[in-house]
């Protein structure tokens, strides 16, 4: 009768209802908060996890990729009339004003004796080209070959540069003093293991990297070579691009966000990875729930056809649901740990 039909329908619905649907996402979010928190990141809720999974590009400063110890001085070539001690002091003075990847290298050369550095006036940074300033009555220029050509400085021939840079394998920075070529610094950058792990996360997820860089010798190609990254993953921003990006990355007050990270590049990529794992875990849990619902519908039809659907006890239904819930939660947890 009608009562039996209603009981059968209720039993089928109880069998097929995905009771663990809220648990799967909730437990995945909990594990995400623990993982991200250990890396110095906070992801405020499931909506933030969904938003982070839509990110395909992030911005970072080159100082996050290369520590002060990453830069190595391979060679110094002094040109006619120059002195190596003055070349080092001039370069250390100017770079100390605003080049986070190279200033530490030259401070190490002078044993951190910043008191012996000549003061720099009218310091200017030319993104992607180099730096300029005045040390006493001498105008100091430090930068790439393109910058020196732009300033009208006579340069050694390209073959000389290629020989000392091993055909472009090493980076070259020029120093000009009072309009004359003074020295050439040959540099090598070594990638750090912590940054390499973070970049591997971005590479796996096909997330591109926009890099702001104070060091004119660092290009997208050189960053990719230092970390063995594919072409196109890294873009170094020019002056116009940095100016356009500045309002978006400047400090703001109360503003909606999908993640807070306090430990630099590692916590940023760690938070992204945690959010992506949470989304993948939820997908695995949902897949198990869909299988559960389909399987339960088949069982319900068979029991209804045999007339035994009404004999199901509450305990049997709860045990059945508990088994599927445990399977869904376990599948999500395993996916999140991958």
Express as a percent the part of the chain with pLDDT over 70.
88
| Confidence at residue 309, expressed as pLDDT on a 0 to 100 scale | 64
Cα separation, 38 vs 32, in Å, equals 10
pTM score of the predicted model: 0.73
Domain boundary among 189, 211, 235: 189
* Domain presence at residue 82: yes
* Domain presence at residue 196: no
Instruction: Kindly report the CATH number assigned to the domain that includes residue 78.
Output: 3.40.1110.10
| Confidence at residue 175, expressed as pLDDT on a 0 to 100 scale | 95
122 pLDDT band, cuts 50/70/90, is very high
| Confidence at residue 240, expressed as pLDDT on a 0 to 100 scale | 80
Domain boundary among 136, 166, 189: 189
Residues 82 and 161 in one domain: yes
Number of domains in the chain: 2
185 pLDDT band, cuts 50/70/90, is very high
Tokens, residue 84: 């190596």
* Domain presence at residue 22: yes
* Domain presence at residue 271: no
**272: which residues sit within 8 A by CB, 6+ positions away?**
52, 55, 58, 201, 202, 205, 207, 259
Contact status, residue 41 vs residue 258, Cβ threshold 8 Å: no
pLDDT tops 90 at residue 245: no
Domain boundary among 158, 174, 189: 189
pLDDT tops 60 at residue 334: yes
Residues 115 and 13 in one domain: no
pLDDT in tens, 42-74: 888 888 888 888 888 888 888 888 877 788 889
Cα separation, 133 vs 121, in Å, equals 6
- Across 3-17, 37-51, 300-314, least confident range: 3-17
* Domain presence at residue 298: yes
Residues 11 and 113 in one domain: no
Residues 110 and 169 in one domain: yes
* Domain presence at residue 57: no
Residues 170 and 83 in one domain: yes
Residues 123 and 178 in one domain: yes
What's the whole-number mean pLDDT along residues 303-327? 73
pLDDT in tens, 92-102: 999 988 887 88
Residues 179 and 99 in one domain: yes
Contact status, residue 190 vs residue 70, Cβ threshold 8 Å: yes
* Domain presence at residue 110: yes
Cα separation, 24 vs 139, in Å, equals 65
**Displacement of CA 131 from its chain's centroid (Å):** 27
Residues 90 and 144 in one domain: yes
Residues 78 and 184 in one domain: yes
pLDDT in tens, 216-239: 888 888 888 888 888 888 998 887
Residues 153 and 96 in one domain: yes
Average pLDDT over the chain reads: 83
Q: Is 144 helix (H, G, I), strand (E, B) or coil?
A: coil
| Confidence at residue 7, expressed as pLDDT on a 0 to 100 scale | 57
Higher pLDDT, 322 or 203: 203
Range of the domain at 332: 2-26+276-337
Tokens, residue 44: 């405020």
CA atoms within a 13 Å half-sphere pointing along the CA-CB vector of 285: 27
- Across 208-212, 286-290, 309-313, least confident range: 309-313
* Domain presence at residue 178: yes
| Confidence at residue 273, expressed as pLDDT on a 0 to 100 scale | 85
């Amino acid at each position: 009768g009608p009562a039996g039909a209603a009981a059968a329908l209720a039993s089928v619905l109880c069998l097929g209802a995905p009771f663990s649907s809220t648990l799967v996402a909730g437990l995945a979010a909990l594990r995400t908060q623990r993982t991200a928190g250990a890396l110095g990141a906070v992801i405020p809720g499931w909506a933030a996890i969904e938003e982070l999974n839509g990110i395909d590009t992030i911005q970072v400063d080159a100082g996050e990729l290369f520590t002060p110890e990453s830069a190595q001085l391979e060679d110094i070539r002094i040109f006619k009339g120059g002195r190596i001690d003055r070349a080092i002091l001039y370069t250390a003075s100017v770079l100390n004003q605003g080049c986070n990847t190279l200033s530490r290298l030259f401070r190490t050369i002078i044993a951190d004796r910043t008191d012996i550095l000549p003061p720099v006036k009218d310091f200017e940074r030319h993104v992607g080209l180099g730096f300029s300033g005045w040390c006493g009555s001498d105008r100091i220029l430090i930068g790439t070959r393109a910058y020196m050509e732009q300033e009208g400085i006579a340069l050694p021939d390209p073959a000389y540069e290629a020989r000392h840079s091993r055909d472009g394998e090493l980076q070259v920075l020029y120093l000009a003093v009072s309009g004359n070529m003074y020295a050439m610094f040959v540099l090598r950058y070594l990638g750090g293991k912590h940054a390499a792990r973070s970049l591997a996360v971005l590479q796996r997820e096909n997330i591109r990297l926009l890099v702001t860089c104070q060091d004119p010798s660092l290009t997208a190609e050189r960053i990719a070579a230092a970390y063995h990254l594919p072409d196109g993953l890294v873009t170094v921003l020019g002056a116009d691009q940095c100016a356009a990006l500045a309002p978006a990355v400047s400090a703001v007050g109360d503003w909606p966000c999908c993640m807070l990270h306090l430990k630099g590049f590692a916590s940023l990529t760690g938070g992204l990875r945690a959010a992506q794992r949470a989304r993948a875990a939820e997908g695995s849990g949902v897949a198990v729930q869909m299988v559960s619902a389909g399987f339960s519908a088949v069982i319900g039809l068979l029991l209804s056809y045999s007339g035994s659907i009404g004999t199901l006890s509450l305990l049997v239904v709860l045990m059945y649901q508990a088994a599927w819930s445990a399977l869904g939660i376990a599948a999500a947890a395993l996916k999140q740990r991958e």
